[in-house]
Amino acid sequence: MDPTVCDIIDVLNSIAPPALAEEWDNVGLQVGDPGRPVKNIWVALDPTYQVVNAACQQNIDLLITHHPLIFKPLQFLDFRTPEGSIIDLAARHHLSIFTAHTNLDSARGGINDVLAGRIGLYDLKPLARAKEPQRFKIVIHAPREAEQQITRLLFQPPTETGQQIKGASSLMPVNGIVAHRPTGTILYEDQIRIEIEVVTGDLAPVTKALAEFQSENQIRYDVGPLIAPDQGTGIGRVGTLESAVDFKFLARNIKKKLNLRHLKLAGDPELPVKKVAVCSGSGASLLADFFACGAQVFVSGDLRYHDARDVEASNLGLIDIGHFASEHLIVSVLTERLSDIFADLKKNLNVKACDIEKDPFTVL
């Protein structure tokens, strides 16, 4: 039996958890049927019309992209617009499109780790730590006969946020629980203990449902916040070079290692460099984090004139390798990673990197 789109999404979410995505981002399934079987997968940077059309011609079932097809909610769907024409094309060919964007930027082993590794950085730390949602543990004690009702209550119906409760859960029988009755008598009962973890957005609807259930049944539940360990996740990375070099040598080395035709740099070419910060994609918003991290050089894309002036005035260095070059390297890496995972799972899936993409900018 072929895995479904939903099965592939579960694997992708384990690589790049959606909770790591920035608040403004739109990650996950953009177009498609979660229950549709999948045999052929493409990985690409952008869901452009050219890429989607080629995927349809190649009978691809699932297109995985880094950049979202839909950034903002659509008020209506006009097939004459660029977005609408892509959605129309994908729907007519039963092509599902899934996006892992800023969550893949932040995740361990994601784009920023890959970029930093290619440059030759070690001892990596996030440039800006991920803002993971607060998680809570709910512990429920209930009579054994209530087990199925509670399970249906928690895991089958969607919550008010539109999501099913997911995450760590356990069911543990507790024999001989001491139950205190209002009369002061003690009765030994056969009970169960259920533990679930929920994020802040799911806490209110879950506790509301439990409170309503509690009023009609003999259950008890406790809620407590969890302290999440540092996962080393976040936008950008800061790392050290094996040995100190001057800024000009570093820039030339990056150009060679990333196979770039050109790059831009600002700063003193003779600046000694030992610590470097990187941010895939557009890194201008992390300039303050760069100044605070102690690195001598910042490597990113889409950097602006005044960013260069600010870095120059601080006697630091800036290297703009371009948006496309800083992110496209994840395509081959993710393709190989997914192929290995599905091979280990003994899933007969054909995962390929889209080979028709190129940087939209041309330098004359």
User: Is 105 a residue whose pLDDT tops 50?
Assistant: yes
Contact in structure between 234 and 126 (CB atoms under 8 Å): yes
Per-residue pLDDT at 227: 67
Q: Please report, as a single letter, which amino acid is at residue 230.
A: D
How far is the first Cα of the chain from the last one, in angstroms, to the nearest whole number?
Answer: 52
Going along the chain from its start, the domains and CATH numbers come out as 5-101+328-353 (3.40.1390.30), 111-131+233-321 (3.40.1390.30), 135-226 (3.30.70.120)
- Cα 319 to Cα 223, 248, 279, 305: the distances in Å are 48, 10, 11, 12
d(Cα 283, Cα 304) in Å, to the nearest integer?
Answer: 10
**pLDDT at site 228:** 64
Mean pLDDT across the chain, nearest whole number? 88
In this prediction, residue 219 carries a pLDDT of: 84
Q: Which residue has the tokens 């996030």?
A: 126
Burial readout 90-117 (b: 16 or more C-beta within 10 A, e: otherwise)? beeeebbbbbbbbbbbbbeebbbbbbbb
Place 120 in a pLDDT band, splitting at 50, 70 and 90. Answer: very high
Specify whether the CB–CB gap between 22 and 102 falls below 8 A. yes
Percent of the residues in the chain that have a pLDDT greater than 90, as a whole number:
69
Residue 174: per-residue pLDDT: 41
Element (H or E) spanning 310, and its range?
A: helix 305-313
**Is 117 or 159 the better-scoring residue by pLDDT?**
117
Please give the structure tokens belonging to residue 2.
């072929």
Supply the pLDDT for residue 328: 98
Q: Is the pLDDT of residue 263 over 50?
A: yes
Tokens of 314: 């601080």
pLDDT surpassing 90 at residue 349: yes
pLDDT of residue 320: 98
Q: Report pTM.
A: 0.78
pLDDT tens per residue across span 30-62: 999 999 999 999 999 999 999 999 999 999 999
- Detail the DSSP E strand segments found in 157-296: 169-180, 186-199, 220-226, 234-246, 264-266, 272-282
pLDDT score, position 155: 67
129 pLDDT tier (thresholds 50, 70, 90): confident
Which band of pLDDT confidence, cut at 50, 70 and 90, is reported for residue 229? low
170-226 pLDDT per residue, tens: 444 444 334 444 445 544 457 788 888 887 778 888 888 888 887 777 788 889 887
- On the question of pLDDT at 162 being above 50, the answer is no
Q: Select from 349, 266, 258 the least CA-distant residue to 305.
A: 266
Mean pLDDT of the region 237-259: 98
Strand partners of residue 297: 276, 317
